[in-house]
Chain A
Amino acid sequence: MQLHRFHGGLKLPDHKAESTAQPLLTMGVPKYLYVPLSQHIGAPTEPLVQPGDHVFKGQRISQAKDYICAHVHAPTSGRIKDIIDHPIPHPSCLSAPCIVIECDAHDQWGDSRMPAWPDWRERDARSLRERVRAAGIVGMGGAAFPTAAKLNPRAGKRIHTLVVNGAECEPYISCDDILMRSYPEAILEGARIVAHILGAERVLFAVEDNKPEALRALTEARRAEEADFIRLVSIPSIYPAGGERQLIQVLTGREVPSAGLPADLGIVCQNTGTLKAIRDAVLHGQPLISRIVTVTGPGIREPRNVEALIGTTFADLVAAAGGYAPGVDRLVMGGPMMGFAISDDTVPVIKGTNCLLATRPQDTTAPGPVMPCIRCGECTRVCPANLLPQQLYWFAKGKDFDSVQDYGLFDCIECGCCAHVCPSNIPLVQYYRFAKQEIWGREKERQKADLARERFEFRQLRQEREEREKTERLARKKAALAKKDTDQDTKTAIDGAIERARAKKSAQSNEEASPTDRERADG
């Protein structure tokens, strides 16, 4: 298959062998699980349980209220201890509402398993999507976008290709590698199900060439007759080949439009972990309640991959990997390029947690003092979005938010290549995140201001209308009054005339009767 190149990128030491040396370990049930209400991109969920309730494994404990949202299920059976604010894996290091489950060690499903659908080929896309949604599945490559929504492209977009992302380009992370080695059949079945939902004619399954074992396992698991339908593609290991847009470019040579989605090219991209979760949901009726996490880095005694229940704390993960090596000072969720530091190890595993990286001070080459940008252009050379990072930095630093957008700030995928090569050690991505936040903040302010202005204008309009109506009403009243007056006048006039006529008449008769009366009446 003809492969293509994306602009820039980096060849990085992959550090994957450390964690793939050990086989996959399935962790037991810990004592407590901290299950965040929001583990995905989109609206938070609404809890269905209260402290004291007993829950079964797989029971829905928090409900999605929105289309871009995903249900949350109990990873094991136990008692709801509390719903509290607890640290979550988020760059802000903030706490968020979590359901705390005191596990009962029975790990009982009760009747919370959904019906198994071994006959999924007979089912239509709609009911399969509904199953994916009911299982609370989100993108497991890290972005955690609700999968049911991704499997439902806008009307009129015909999907011909499913791209399976097994690239896993970021150093240290090996959870997809281990997954592909351990469950190649399940992943391929997931790919068949998703292709069925989308009506896709082919599946392009991309694996970076630094994972030959995974590729071999998949090749063995693939049925001979579907070699044309599911194509396994070994791609060069260049960071960030696992970025959705970069991967599509490598495989097809086409660029996803800046403001568009892969669906605009007839492509949907899914991570291997997500496919396995979809397969488990369809074939076994299991919701997404566990995932594989790479626990690695020089700060871990026995780096390895563990299959852990959602809500397991990082401390429990580390314990399963032999504990900390002496001198650990930094925990990162995700990889060294795009991950973020977390404040402590009480943070739980969520659906998008792919890696926990622990480092010691001596492992991270100290980036050195930040020096001024000399516009050397190294960042331009490595930027996979073909941006000018030095110019973005210049405008972001000067808070020139119009120019920074004009130079493509929102095309930045925050892969960190620019900051990695910067000879002046400038934390470039932080400037871009800052600029994005500012622009979003301003947009919100603007919307708020617009709303306020609309309200104000509406109020003015209403006041004007009320004023007008009042005047009109007054005018009408006046008119009505005036009319009454005129009526009275007429009446008076008529009355007067009658009176006069009567008087005349009586005068005449009086005249006839007595002239003195007539004189009196005239006088």
Chain B
Amino acid sequence: MRQVLYALVPGTLAMTWFFGWGVLVNVSLAILFSVLFEALMVAARRRPVMATLGDSSAILAGWLFALAIPPLAPVWVLLIGTAFAIVVAKHLYGGLGYNPFNPAMVGYVVVLVSFPRELSLWPSPEGLTNASLSFLQTLQTTLTGRLPDGMEWDAITRASPLDMMRESIVSGQTVTEVTLSPLFGSFSQTEWEWAGNLFLLGGLWLLYRRVITWHIPVSMLLTLATVAGVFWVIDPDYFASPAFHVFSGAAIIGAFFIATDPVSAATTPTGRILFGAGIGLLTYVIRTWGGYPDAVAFAVLLMNMVAPTLDHYTRPRIFGHSPDRHG
């Protein structure tokens, strides 16, 4: 699990570079809260606290949660999210190894549906540069939930690429018009692309180190790209390109870091391919026709529900058994 943490570092640093100190503040606070909740729950369940904390799973859940929420989100969002992730989604189900749902995503979805306003305020790199929000000011913003005097939310935030695409298409613009915007790089907004690249790097390193297997990331990204590709070919003005979908939002970090949580994912090789494909498909469907701009969290949780069933029906053929054997 510690290697997953290392693999998150480049992407996190990229996000900090683009979105300011808030990313680091969030990650640090979320990890702190997660570990505290974990220690509390483990103690309450009369298990060895230090040995359990040593598995780093609480750190990872807090970190992933922090990357999902806006860098300037107020501290109580972090507190509520990590509480749900660790206390409810993890320990009430029996702790590490027994949770049917991805804890970080449960925490994120709880705050997303509960506090839509706070969860939609993504700072923009140029807005931050103009405002030159220092580390202390960022910390203060997070802790108080108010920007320093003289700053306005509107001045330093802007819509994320998925939001932007969504709003623009609803208001009648074409996909090409959106991507022609100076904010866009090759496929998506530059900063998201770069964060995506660096998370991809970390993910590939995890694959190389055999911490994760290829099944889930490959099938998820391939399905997302394929489905996006089909609609894009049908109507490129209305449907965004496969590359845009892969390099926007949480697709890459989701494919390599979130959907690959082994506890809540399917465990058979075939099951994992179907699991990843399901997430890719649901992500596209919810992004395109659902009520939320990004959908990786929902898609992951929905597929968590069917993981046991996938495992049941995708058992490998046991040595020496005839191929038609099925439970």
Q: Which A positions have Cβ atoms within 8 angstroms of B? A: 6-7, 245, 249, 255-258, 260, 369, 371-377, 380-381, 384-388, 390-391, 406-408, 411
14 pairs from A and B in contact (CB 8 Å cutoff): A255-B320, A258-B318, A258-B319, A372-B95, A375-B267, A377-B269, A381-B213, A386-B316, A386-B318, A387-B316, A387-B319, A406-B327, A408-B318, A411-B318
What residues on A are CB-neighbors of B315 within 8 Å?
Answer: 388, 407
Choose among B95, B268, B311, B318 the residue with the greatest number of A CB atoms under 10 Å from its CB: B318
Highest count of chain A CB atoms <10 Å: which of B55, B96, B320: B320
Among B95, B98, B311, which residue has its beta carbon within 8 angstroms of that of A391? B311
Q: A391-B311, A408-B318 are in contact. Are A377 and B267 (CB under 8 A)?
A: yes
By beta carbon, the residue of chain A nearest B311 is A391
Q: Is the CB of B97 within 8 A of A374?
A: yes
Write the B248-273 contact mask toward A (1 if CB under 8 angstroms, else 0).
00000000000000110101110010
Given A369-B51, A380-B269, A406-B327: A374 in contact with B96 (beta carbons within 8 A): yes
- Compute how far the CA of A249 lies from the CA of B320 in the bound complex, rounded to whole angstroms: 10
**Using a Cβ–Cβ cut-off of 8 Å, how many residues does chain B contribute to the interface with A?**
23
Contacts from B to A (Cβ < 8 Å): 51, 55, 95-98, 213, 262-263, 265, 267-269, 272, 311, 315-321, 327
Q: Given A245-B319, A387-B316, 18 more contacts at CB 8 Å? A: A249-B319, A255-B320, A258-B320, A260-B320, A374-B262, A375-B262, A377-B262, A380-B267, A384-B319, A385-B319, A386-B319, A388-B316, A391-B267, A406-B327, A408-B318, A411-B318, A411-B319, A411-B321
The 10 A-B residue pairs whose C-beta atoms are closest, nearest first, are A372-B97, A258-B320, A408-B318, A385-B319, A376-B262, A375-B267, A255-B320, A375-B262, A372-B96, A386-B316
> How far apart are A263's CB and chain B's nearest CB, in angstroms?
14
* A375–B51 alpha-carbon span in the complex (Å): 19
* Closest residue on chain B to residue A407 by CB atoms: B315
Across chains A and B, the number of contacting residue pairs, with CB separation under 8 Å, is 71
Q: How far, in whole Å, are A255 and B213 apart by their CA atoms in the complex?
A: 27
Complexed CA–CA distance, A403 and B315 (Å) = 13
Task: Give chain B residues whose Cβ lies under 8 Å from the Cβ of A391.
Answer: 267, 311
| Chain A residue with Cβ nearest B267 | A375
Complex: A375 Cα to B213 Cα, angstroms? 12
CB-CB under 8 A from B316, the residues of chain A are: 380, 386-388
Residues of the A chain whose Cβ atoms lie less than 8 Å from the Cβ of B272: 377
Closest A residue, CB atoms, query B268: A388
- Chain B residues in 8 Å Cβ range of A256: 320
Using known A-B contacts A373-B97, A374-B96, A376-B262, determine if residue A258 contacts B267 with beta carbons closer than 8 Å. no
Inter-chain contacts of A375 with B (CB < 8 A):
97, 262-263, 265, 267
- Distance of B118 from chain A, by nearest CB (Å): 32
Q: How far is the CA of A507 from the CA of B327 in the complex (A)?
A: 104
A385–B272 Cα distance when bound, in Å, is 20
Let me know if B318 and A387 touch, CB within 8 A: yes
The residue that B319 contacts in the complex, of A255, A374, A376, A381, with Cβ under 8 A, is A255
Query: How many angstroms between the C-alpha atoms of A257 and B213 in the bound complex?
Result: 30
Out of B51, B319, B321, name the residue touching A7 (CB < 8 Å): B319
A317: shortest Cβ distance to chain B, in Å? 36
**B184, chain A: closest CB distance, angstroms:** 38
Q: How far is the CA of A376 from the CA of B260 in the complex (A)?
A: 9
| Nearest CB in chain B to that of A406: its residue | B327
Max chain A C-beta neighbours (<10 A), residue from B97, B316, B319, B321: B319
Cα of A371 to Cα of B97 in the assembled complex, Å: 9
Within the complex, the shortest CB–CB distance from B163 to chain A, in Å, comes to 34
Q: How far is the CB of B93 from chain A (nearest CB, A)?
A: 12
Which residues on B sit within 8 Å (CB–CB) of A245?
Answer: 319-320
> Hey, which chain B residues are within 8 Å of A7, CB to CB?
319
Q: Which residue of B lies closest to A260 (CB)?
A: B320
Neighbouring B residues of A386 by C-beta, 8 Å: 316-319
User: Distance (Å) between the CB of B282 and the closest chain A CB?
Assistant: 21
Interchain CB contact under 8 A, B319 and A377: no
Report Cα–Cα, A391/B95, bound state, in Å. 18
Inter-subunit contact B319/A388 (CB<8 Å): no
Bound-state Cα–Cα, A371 to B55, Å:
8
Q: Are A408 and B267 in touch, CB under 8 angstroms?
A: no
Q: Which of B269, B311, B317, B320 contacts A257 (CB 8 A)?
A: B320
Which residue, of A369, A372, A380, has the highest number of chain B Cβ atoms within 10 A? Answer: A372
Give the nearest-CB partner of A373 in chain B: B97
With a CB–CB cut-off of 8 A, which chain A residues contact B320? 245, 255-258, 260, 385, 411
B95's nearest neighbour on chain A, judged by CB, is: A372
Nearest CB of chain B from residue A258's CB, rounded to whole Å: 4
Question: In the complex, what distance in Å separates the CA atom of A376 from the CA atom of B96?
Answer: 12
| CB-CB under 8 A for A380 and B268, given A245-B319, A411-B319 | yes
- CA of A20 to CA of B189 in the docked complex: distance in angstroms? 65
Beyond A380-B269, A406-B327, is A372–B98 a contact (Cβ under 8 Å)? Answer: yes
Q: Are A390 and B319 in contact (CB under 8 A)?
A: no
B80 to chain A, nearest CB (A): 26
How far apart are B193's CB and chain A's nearest CB, in angstroms? Answer: 31
In the complex, which residues of chain A have a beta carbon less than 8 angstroms from the beta carbon of B268? 377, 380, 388
